[in-house]
Structures are given as structure tokens and as C-alpha cells.
Amino acid sequence: MSAPILSVNINKFATIRNARGGNNPNLLQVAKDCESFGAQGITVHPRPDERHIRYADTIALCDVVSTEYNVEGNPTQAFIDLVLQAKPTQVTLVPDSPETLTSDAGWDCITQAAYLQKTISIFKEAGIRTAIFIDPVVDQIKAAKQTGTDRIELYTEAYARGFANDKNAAIAPYTLAAEEAEKQEIGLNAGHDLDLENLKFFKQELPNLLEVSIGHALVCDALYLGLHNTIVAYRNQLK
């Protein structure tokens, strides 16, 4: 199986830009540079308050991204309309409330099955690949199959938090989740707090992993290593 692709989440670049106004850093140029440095995808997560990625950014990037384009977010009507206009490669549905600082939980595919089925069908009818953000719980993976989603994205904060103490214990729920995803014939993505310390082991233990989306840690590393070197380093961890 080929190595998982690296999709760079560029939200943090937008946060820096917004802090001073203007257009520095230029988000469109950042996306192009990430791809030229080896990123195989670009991820954005526009939120209703547009505190980092703006809705206008999401549309503008459509003409710039030449690899996979992944748009994440809570499927409010405004978000649905935005994604249908942008027509990215993939939409990842995340159940975060407007006041949430960063994504902190996956969908409950059991109690919210009907809602997810209806929402996912809208995107699939438009020819957009769908993924849903989910915790590494086998029963949730089984329920995800019934929603019609193409992929799941495993929420990896718990793995990252436990990695330094006991990496084998930390990865255990994720290997079970990955095995269930394979049984259910659902594609497997992952993201949240993956970094240069824990990424290689995560990839090795989940052989059916297709894609990782990484933003915060990658941008932090780029402050020291430079963006080009950092993207190369992350790609190396996935080989």
C-alpha cells in the first residue's frame, strides 16, 4: 500500500495574517508553496466567525490548489453552501460548536445517523468525497458505515497525549478502529496533534491509513526548520 498523503492545514497562516490585517502572509502563495515543497493536499477549516480561514479564502483557494483540497467544518447551512460552491476534493464534517477553540470530539454516528446520512448525501450528489471526524470507537465505526460516508477521520488527540507515556497503549484503540474501518470498507484519514515525534509510529501501526491532515504542529516546527524542510520531514515520517 502506498504511503498516506500529507495534507497541510493552513489555518495558522491565516491566523497570523488576520492578527495584523492586510495580506501577509499571502494565503494563496502559502498554499502554492506548500504544494511545491511536497504537500500532497491543502486543508482549511473555516469557522462562522472567520477567525482564521475566511469564506472568501475557501473560494479563492479553489483556483490555486492543484493537489487534493479538503474543507473541514460543522455542516451549518452556510458551510454546506460554501462547500457546494467550492467543490473541493473532500469535505470533512466536524461537530465543533462556534465557540470551540479547536476540534475536540468526533461525531456520535449512532444518535446522529439520520442527520449525517442526509448531510452526506448532499455532498455526494455534488460529487464531493465525504469524511466524518470520529473518535476511535469500534461501535462508532460500524455506525459510520450506515451514514454513507466515504471515509472517516480519526481524532488523534488522545493518541498524541498518551504517546510519550506508553505509545503501545496509546495506539491500541486506533488499531482496532482501523481494522474495523477496513472491515466496513471505509477509507481512513487521521488528524489532530500529530507531529514529528508520534507520526511515524502511528502510520506504521495503521497500514490502511490514506491521509493525515496536520496544521498546528507543522507550523510550529516551520518556525525553527523552515516550511520547506518541515514538509519534507513530515513526508519522510509517512514513508
CA distance 47 to 57: 12
Q: Does 52 participate in catalysis according to the annotation?
A: no
For residue 143, give the H/E element and its range. helix 138-145
CA distance 238 to 167: 17
The one catalytic residue among 35, 45, 52, 68: 45
Instruction: Tell me which residue of 73, 79, 68, 84 sits closest to 35, measured CA to CA.
Output: 68
Instruction: Tell me which residue of 30, 45, 42, 121 sits closest to 89, measured CA to CA.
Output: 42
CA distance 153 to 136: 9
The one catalytic residue among 35, 52, 153, 192: 192
* The three grid cell numbers given for residue 24, joined into one nine-digit string: 501577509
* The three grid cell numbers given for residue 211, joined into one nine-digit string: 491521509
Instruction: Tell me which residue of 28, 25, 126 sits closest to 75, measured CA to CA.
Output: 126
For residue 41, what are the β-bridge partners? 7, 68
Q: Does 45 participate in catalysis according to the annotation?
A: yes
CA distance 92 to 192: 13
CA distance 125 to 188: 21
The one catalytic residue among 68, 72, 153, 211: 72
Location of C-alpha cell 500529507: 6
CA distance 135 to 157: 10
DSSP class of residue 97 equals -
Name the residues annotated as catalytic: 45, 72, 192
